[in-house]
């Protein structure tokens, strides 16, 4: 999976298409990412104790990695990710602009 925690992404498919956000968590085994402000769902929470009212909590839900694309740091458009060898390390590179991520 080429999208990591802390990356800025753009949603390219689904109900939140066009929104941008930062990856909070990446789940490589499930191929899902949790993005801040994208994929918000409402969870109905029961009251914890007697006398306290229940509430509706809004929280982000994971979305599939195929529905998101990395945001190019130079242009701000969706881009794919490539790898380039610099010295002893492999670095991630934006395919559109060629800038190092």
- Look up residue 19 and give its two tokens: 């929104």
Place of tokens 């490539």: 82
- Look up residue 21 and give its two tokens: 């956000």
Whether 5 shows a pLDDT value over 90: the answer reads yes
State residue 83's pLDDT score: 92
Ordered structural domains, the chain, with CATH: 8-73 (2.30.30.30)
Residue ranges with strand state E in the chain? 8-11, 20-27, 32-35, 40-45, 55-60, 63-64, 68-71, 78-79, 81-86, 89-94
- At residue 47, φ and ψ (nearest 5 deg) are -70, 140
pLDDT in tens, 48-90: 777 788 889 999 899 999 999 999 988 889 999 999 998 899 9
Whether 20 shows a pLDDT value over 90: the answer reads yes
The pTM (predicted TM-score) of the whole model is 0.80
pLDDT in tens, 25-50: 999 999 999 999 888 999 998 887 77
């Amino acid at each position: 999976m080429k999208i990591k925690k802390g990356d800025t992404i753009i949603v390219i498919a689904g109900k939140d298409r066009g929104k941008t956000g930062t990856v909070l968590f990446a789940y490589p085994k499930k191929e899902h990412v949790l993005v801040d402000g994208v994929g918000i769902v409402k969870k109905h929470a029961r009251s914890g104790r007697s006398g306290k009212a229940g509430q509706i909590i809004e929280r982000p839900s994971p979305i599939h990695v195929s529905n998101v694309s990395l945001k190019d740091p130079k242009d701000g458009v969706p881009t794919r990710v490539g790898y380039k060898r610099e010295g002893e390390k492999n670095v991630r590179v934006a395919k559109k602009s060629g800038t190092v991520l």
